[in-house]
Amino acid sequence: MHPSSGRTHNKGIMNKAISLALLVGGIVLIIYGISASDSLSSSFSRFFTGSPTDKTMWLLIGGIVAAAVGLFGLFRGSKSP
């Protein structure tokens, strides 16, 4: 067994944990973004400007990006020698 193989295995587990955290965090942000889009302030914003509030957009965009990065990290797999 190679001395660095334990570190490689631990690094793979850490990458999976970070990817899972990004996925869960992204889903939470998407849920908050959808909830914010149904809020009274977002309804007024949509009525007057035709678009939802900036907060809603940032929550949705951030959630989608975080979830996509998390999914990519989970499905990428760890590179083993």
Q: What is the pLDDT of residues 57-79, one digit of tens each?
A: 999 999 999 999 999 999 886 55
At 8, the pLDDT band (50, 70, 90 cuts) reads low
Per-residue pLDDT of 22-36, as tens digits, reads: 999 999 999 999 998
Task: Kindly state the tokens that stand for 23.
Answer: 């996925």
Spell out the alpha helix ranges (H) of 38-76: 40-49, 54-76
Query: Across the chain, which distance is largest between two alpha carbons, in Å?
Result: 66
Per the CB < 8 A criterion, the answer to whether 29 and 66 are in contact is: yes
Phi, psi of 29 (to 5 degrees): -65, -40
Per-residue pLDDT of 37-59, as tens digits, reads: 888 877 887 788 888 888 899 99
